[in-house]
Every structure is written in structure tokens, then in C-alpha cells.
């Protein structure tokens, strides 16, 4: 095995994703191991780890697997090194801009929800300090 390749256990540790989750992303076509060992074990590269990190970061923001696939397809196409027609390049960049805007909005929504949850927890803590103990 090359030092450039990692087995799924190392990838799981580095990405903080379970083996099952990584296999699920493989089954859905979001990430494909770059190689297989002679024994048939999945082998991943740094690029595969980076791809899994994109997926991991999208998940808590509520992006669907199809949305993840759409973003990854756009970035793959832009990163292919192939000369793209200007219209296609701009369309891909627009798609990524849409995801960036959606991510910003979802982060803001999460901040609002977190703030409300913190207010609630503080209210409960305050209530406990005001309640006399028998």
C-alpha cells in the first residue's frame, strides 16, 4: 500500500465519520475510493478525505444527498483542469454561489436557534436558583 493511500479506518478517524457513514456515501456515489488494495480493501487519498469533509460540513446545515452531489459535481467539473466554455464555467460558478448563499442563510438560522436554546437554558437555570429548597 502506498503512503499516499489510507484505509477506511484512518479516513474515519480523520473525518470523524463512522465506517458505516463512509460506506453509505460510497453507495450513494458521493465519494468513491481512489483504489483498492490487493486484498480488496478501500483505499482513499487526501482528495477523498477533502471530499468527505465537504460532505460532513454540509450535513449539519441540512443539505440533502442530491444537493451534496450537485455541489460536488460542480466543483469536480471546475477542478478537472479541462478548458470549459465560458457559459458552462459561469453556470457552475453560479451553482456554487447559490450553495454559498444557502449555507450562509442556514448558518444564520442555526445561530438564531442556538440563541433561543441558550435563552431557554438560562431561564431554567435562573428558575432553579430562585426556587427555595425545603
Query: Consecutive 10-residue runs of the chain (134 residues): their mean pLDDT?
Result: 80 96 95 88 93 97 97 95 95 98 98 98 93 72
Q: Full-prediction pTM beyond 0.75? A: yes
CA distances from 76 to 43, 69, 109 (A): 20, 10, 29
Neighbours of 8 (CB within 10 A): 17
E strand map for the chain: 6-7, 35-36, 42-44
The pLDDT of residue 1 is 46
**Closest alpha carbon to 126 in 134, 118, 112:** 118
70 touches 34 (CB < 8 A):
no
Neighbours of 48 (CB within 10 A): 22
The pLDDT of residue 3 is 59
5 touches 43 (CB < 8 A):
yes
Amino acid at each position: 500500500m502506498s503512503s499516499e493511500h489510507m484505509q477506511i479506518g484512518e479516513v474515519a478517524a480523520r473525518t470523524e465519520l463512522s465506517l458505516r457513514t463512509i460506506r453509505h456515501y460510497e453507495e450513494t456515489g458521493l465519494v468513491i475510493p481512489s483504489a483498492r488494495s490487493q486484498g480488496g480493501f478501500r483505499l482513499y487519498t487526501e482528495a477523498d478525505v477533502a471530499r468527505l469533509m465537504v460532505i460532513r460540513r454540509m450535513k449539519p446545515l441540512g443539505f440533502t444527498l442530491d444537493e451534496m452531489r450537485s455541489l460536488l459535481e460542480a466543483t469536480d467539473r471546475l477542478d478537472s483542469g479541462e478548458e470549459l466554455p465560458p457559459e458552462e464555467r459561469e453556470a457552475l460558478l453560479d451553482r456554487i454561489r447559490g450553495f454559498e448563499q444557502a449555507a450562509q442563510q442556514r448558518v444564520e438560522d442555526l445561530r438564531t436557534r442556538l440563541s433561543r436554546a441558550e435563552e431557554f437554558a438560562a431561564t431554567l437555570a435562573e428558575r432553579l436558583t430562585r426556587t427555595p429548597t425545603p
